[in-house]
Amino acid sequence: MAEPRYWAEMTSPQLGAAASAGDQVVLIPVGAIEQHGSHLPVDTDISGAYETSEEISRRRPYTIVAPPVSWGVSGPHRKFPGVLTLRVATFTALLEDLCDSIVEQGFTKIVLVIGHATNKPIVQTLVGQYMERRGVRLLQINYINLAAERFAEIRQSEIGGAGHAGELETALQMHLRPEAIDLRDVAVHYVDAKRDFGLSSATKDMFKAGEVNVGYEFADSFPDGIMGDPSVATAQTGRLAFEAIVEKACAIIDEYQTL
């Protein structure tokens, strides 16, 4: 397995040669800095996206990991200490400018590896508009979604236990960097759509989206900062989920490279 290639550690001539090769894929990890309960660091979202990108680059030598975009759209978390959030227009403009810089150098394959739920619809819109504006097919991968099938087989929590800072996010971090996790006195808050969002048709779990979306203030609905049950998370669950994520991501990117 090769060492990852990092954009920031390559020389200008090396990057020029990579662009000229015509078959290189640039990975941009995109996350958020926001609270994840008392047991996970505020960089959980970007950490997962970055670690995923690194592992993809180990397995696919034609990929280059760009410096991460650590900040996302995290408005609902403003009442908690630690959040660094962007306006939607700022976030979109930042990603557009970065992609423009990469494309102008001759790269035509860019993968946005997304690690924060609120970023997903914004990036989806960006991908469509970028094709219209530049004729370049950006690829959006919502990395944690790729674990859905495997996680359904191994999860310990019931539906409602795997939301923000719940079982899956906690398990992934336990696998990737166990030294950063502290589960002592961790809170458990199973999602109840009616109680927590006011509508029974709202979201119920990370992989059981509701029929509707409704605005809410995170601290009011989830005062401990947790949607789910992190107490049942294990490093083994995280390892199996992460392997599923990386395998699927590599298969997708292999196909994308040939477009």
Q: Could you list the pLDDT tens digit for every one of the 259 residues in the chain?
A: 889 999 999 999 999 999 999 999 999 999 999 999 999 999 999 999 999 999 999 999 999 999 999 999 999 999 999 999 999 999 999 999 999 999 999 999 999 999 999 999 999 999 999 999 999 999 999 999 999 999 999 999 999 999 999 999 999 999 999 999 999 999 999 999 999 999 999 999 999 999 999 999 999 999 999 999 999 999 999 999 999 999 999 999 999 999 9
Residue 96 identity (one-letter amino acid):
E
- What pLDDT is recorded for position 1? 80
Cα dihedral sign, 104-110-116-120: positive
Q: How far apart are CA 116 and CA 144, in angstroms?
A: 9
- Please tell me the predicted confidence (pLDDT) of residue 150: 98
CATH fold, domain 9-257, is Rossmann fold (3.40.50)
110 forms beta bridges with: 26
What's the alpha-carbon Rg for the chain, to the nearest Å? 18
Residue 235 has, within 13 A of its CA and on its CB side, a CA count of 10
Q: How far apart are alpha carbons 250 and 201 in whole angstroms? A: 35
- Alpha carbon 211 to its chain's center: 22
Q: Could you give the angle at the alpha carbon of 232 between the alpha carbons of 227 and 233, nearest 5°?
A: 80
Q: What's the angle, vertex CA 22, arms to CA 259 and CA 19, rounded to 5?
A: 130
In this prediction, residue 232 carries a pLDDT of 98
* Nearest-angstrom CA–CA distance, 199 and 178: 36
